[in-house]
Amino acid sequence: MEQPNIINTLVDSEKNITYEVVAYRKLSREELVLAVRHFYAQKKKPRVRPGQKVRIISIIGYND
pLDDT digits (tens, 9 = 90+) for 10-50: 999 999 999 999 999 999 999 999 999 999 998 677 789 99
Determine, yes or no, domain membership for 22: yes
* Strand extents, DSSP E, the chain: 6-12, 17-23, 53-57
- Please tell me the pTM assigned to this model: 0.87
Give the chain's end-to-end CA distance (angstroms, integer). Answer: 15
Query: 64 falls in which pLDDT band (50, 70, 90)?
Result: confident
Determine, yes or no, domain membership for 13: yes
Determine, yes or no, domain membership for 23: yes
Determine, yes or no, domain membership for 64: no
Determine, yes or no, domain membership for 63: no
Q: How many residues does the chain have?
A: 64
Determine, yes or no, domain membership for 1: no
Q: What domain count does the chain have?
A: 1
29 is in which domain, residue-wise? 6-57
Query: 7 falls in which pLDDT band (50, 70, 90)?
Result: very high
